[in-house]
Amino acid sequence: MTCTDIQTAIHGYLDGELDAVRNHEIEQHLQDCAVCSQTYKADQILQRALQTGSQYYPASADLRKRIQSSLRQVGKSEPLFPAMPWRWLAVAASVAFVVILAWALVPRLYGLDAEQLVAQAVVSSHVRSLMVDHVADVMSSDHHTVKPWFTGKLDFSPPVKNLAKEGFPLVGGRLDYLENRAVAALVYQRQKHFINLFIWPSSHDTHVKTKALARQGYHLVYWSKAGMTYWAISDLNDTELQEFVRLVQTSP
Amino acid sequence: MWEERDVSEQSRVRQFEQAVLPHMDAAYNLARWLTRNDHDAEDLVQEACLRAFKFFGSFHGDNARSWLLTIVRNTCYTWFRENRPQELTTSFDENIHSTEADPFDPEKLLLRSESGQLLKQALEDLPLEFREVLILRELEGLSYKEIAVIAGIPPGTVMSRLARARSRLKQGLTKLVNKER
């Protein structure tokens, strides 16, 4: 390896950019050649002098401030729709996407909201009925007494079932007000727990599958069947309330 | 819609600042060495930052310093083309062997109390393309790969350009040391 050969590579060596084989070759040459070795030492000293940082120009605090405030200016004034056709296309596509999304999602969100509202009202009614010691307007465990009691008080006839044999004796019936209308409230009991079963005609002709919720420590189950909406609520545990619901849904 | 846009714009500015502001010293140092004066360097760094902000979407977050320095360097070169085109035409009359005729003696330089000043002078006297690679390598400590990307040259060219830059720097220093004795 001659001096000319390493003239350039020696800088790669100085900068630590060579592989091990090349490094070794350079080291060999530097050991053998006094001239190159001296040049290398001078380059090394020069490199160290440059790397001390004495030649570095840091940015002033003033410049930093200037840049930050100009960025904020640009951030504010940047046009929303630059005059580029593809941007317009993108915007149009975004708008279309949002519209479709809203169309698909809003009824769902609305439905969710409606459910929340009814659930809240059901909880309030249930709590109030227990609070004022006014569980029922008509106290009877006989569904043949309770069902006719509603006649003339409601514009519909709620199905009333006696579930005493199954461990959910009927306590009575009551008028209540939910969803901007008078509704039937049937009261059942399971040991010391009361169950309020609210019934009213469905506003839509939709069949709602049985859904369970929990709110403020109460379990709620609602469904719709044969044009009627049912909401059952109790402080019973979930399993027992589900059992109650199953009986209401299946018993004749 | 306007409110939301303002918020997203603000967060974009914040993201940009987080990525770029830590490299403000590097940006200014490069611009200052290329232009050789404070005023132009500050204006160009500001311009480069705004340009970088505009293209922030194309930055993929791997090396913010190199990315910013590339934009600073390009901004400076555009400015050179418009204001000092003569700086862009480098004469290749340097002779790499001339150091042998009048070898650089680092001891001579370092003994001088004003060695820092002489070094600065010699660096400033270098043609733009040599000054550039030396600043990126020695002051910024960048790898050959990074320098190649920033200076827009093949990686293989970085080493030979540094070799010539150092040779020229030594010649310049020798002249300055001998003259000012």
DSSP notation for B13-27: HHHHHHHHGGGHHHH
Yes or no, beta carbons of B170 and A80 under 8 Å apart: no
Query: What does residue A195 show for φ and ψ, rounded to 5 degrees?
Result: -125, 125
- Under a CB-based contact definition with an 8 Å cutoff, are residues B52 and B13 in contact? no
- Under a CB-based contact definition with an 8 Å cutoff, are residues B18 and B59 in contact? no
Give tens-digit pLDDT for A134-160.
788 888 888 888 988 998 889 999 999
Give tens-digit pLDDT for A82-107.
445 566 677 778 888 877 777 766 65
Given B115, B119, B159, which is nearest A11 (Cβ)?
B159
Give tens-digit pLDDT for A104-125.
666 555 555 678 888 888 998 8
Query: Encoding tokens for residue A245?
Result: 């619901």
Residue A142: the pLDDT is: 87
- pLDDT tops 80 at residue A205: no
Selection from B89, B79, B62, B77 nearest residue B146 by Cα: B62
Given B53, B104, B173, which is nearest A74 (Cβ)?
B53
- Put simply, whether A1 touches B (Cβ < 8 Å) is no
Given A38, A51, A67, which is nearest B49 (Cβ)?
A67
Query: Encoding tokens for residue B140?
Result: 């910024």
**CATH 3.30.200.100 domain locations along chain A:** 112-250
How far, in Å, CA of A178 to CA of B54, rounded? 57
Among B30, B47, B102, B119, pick the best mutation site for testing chain A contact (most A Cβ within 10 A): B119
Quote the Cα angle for B22-B25-B26, to 5°: 95
- pLDDT tops 50 at residue B1: no
Number of other residues whose CB lies within 10 A of the CB of residue A20: 7
- Under a CB-based contact definition with an 8 Å cutoff, are residues A207 and A192 in contact? no
Selection from B29, B85, B89, B20 nearest residue B50 by Cα: B20
Q: What percent of chain A has pLDDT over 70?
A: 88
What number of C-beta contacts closer than 8 Å exist between A and B?
117
Residue A191: the pLDDT is: 85
What residues form DSSP beta bridges with A223? A230
Residue A248: the pLDDT is: 93
Residue A84: the pLDDT is: 56
In degrees to the nearest 10, what's the CA dihedral of B19, B23, B27, B32?
160
- Find residues 90-119 of chain B whose CB sits inside 8 Å of chain A: 96, 99-100, 103-106, 109-110, 115-116, 119
Q: Mean per-residue pLDDT for B2-12? A: 65
Residue B76: the pLDDT is: 96
Residue B97: the pLDDT is: 46
How far, in Å, CA of B176 to CA of A199, rounded? 102
Query: Encoding tokens for residue A247?
Result: 């009986």
Q: Which domains are seen in chain B, by residue range?
A: 2-88 (1.10.1740.10), 98-179 (1.10.10.10)
Class at the top of the CATH hierarchy for domain A112-250: alpha beta
Among B1, B2, B13, B44, pick the best mutation site for testing chain A contact (most A Cβ within 10 A): B13
Task: Report which listed range, A87-101, B19-33, B81-95, is most confident.
Answer: B19-33
- Find residues 67-96 of chain A whose CB sits inside 8 Å of chain B: 67-68, 70-72, 74-76, 78, 80
Residue A81: the pLDDT is: 45
* Chain B: closest CA distance from residue A163 (Å): 56
In degrees to the nearest 10, what's the CA dihedral of B126, B127, B132, B133?
-80
Residue B98: the pLDDT is: 47
Give tens-digit pLDDT for A233-243.
999 888 899 99
Q: What percent of chain A has pLDDT over 90?
A: 46
How far, in Å, CA of B68 to CA of B81, rounded? 20
Which of chain B's residues have a Cβ under 8 Å away from the Cβ of A9?
A: 159
DSSP state of B154: -
Give tens-digit pLDDT for B92-141.
555 544 444 567 888 777 777 788 899 999 999 999 999 999 999 999 99
User: For chain A, what is the total number of helices (H) and then of strands (E)?
Assistant: 7, 7
- Under a CB-based contact definition with an 8 Å cutoff, are residues B19 and B11 in contact? no
Give tens-digit pLDDT for A22-48.
999 999 999 999 999 999 999 999 999
How far, in Å, CA of B31 to CA of B77, rounded? 10
Which class for A252: exposed (0-12), middle (13-18), buried (19 or more C-beta within 10 A)? exposed
Query: What does residue A139 show for φ and ψ, rounded to 5 degrees?
Result: -95, 110
pTM: 0.58
Selection from A242, A192, A190, A243 nearest residue A219 by Cα: A242
Residue A231: the pLDDT is: 95
Residue B105: the pLDDT is: 82
Given A41, A43, A54, which is nearest B166 (Cβ)?
A43
Residue A109: the pLDDT is: 57
Number of other residues whose CB lies within 10 A of the CB of residue A48: 12
CA distances from B84 to A26, B76, B80 (A): 41, 10, 5
Yes or no, beta carbons of A46 and B106 under 8 Å apart: yes
Yes or no, beta carbons of A11 and B166 under 8 Å apart: yes
Q: How many residues are recorded in chain B?
A: 181
Q: Mean per-residue pLDDT for A170-177? A: 92
Residue B5: the pLDDT is: 53
* Chain B: closest CA distance from residue A114 (Å): 27
Yes or no, beta carbons of B105 and A42 under 8 Å apart: yes
Yes or no, beta carbons of A68 and B120 under 8 Å apart: no
Yes or no, beta carbons of A10 and B163 under 8 Å apart: yes
- Put simply, whether A2 touches B (Cβ < 8 Å) is no
Quote the Cα angle for A97-A102-A108, to 5°: 140
Residues contacting A237, CB < 8 A, separation 6+:
A219
Residue A111: the pLDDT is: 52
Residues contacting B73, CB < 8 A, separation 6+:
B30, B34, B132, B150, B151
ipTM score here? 0.89
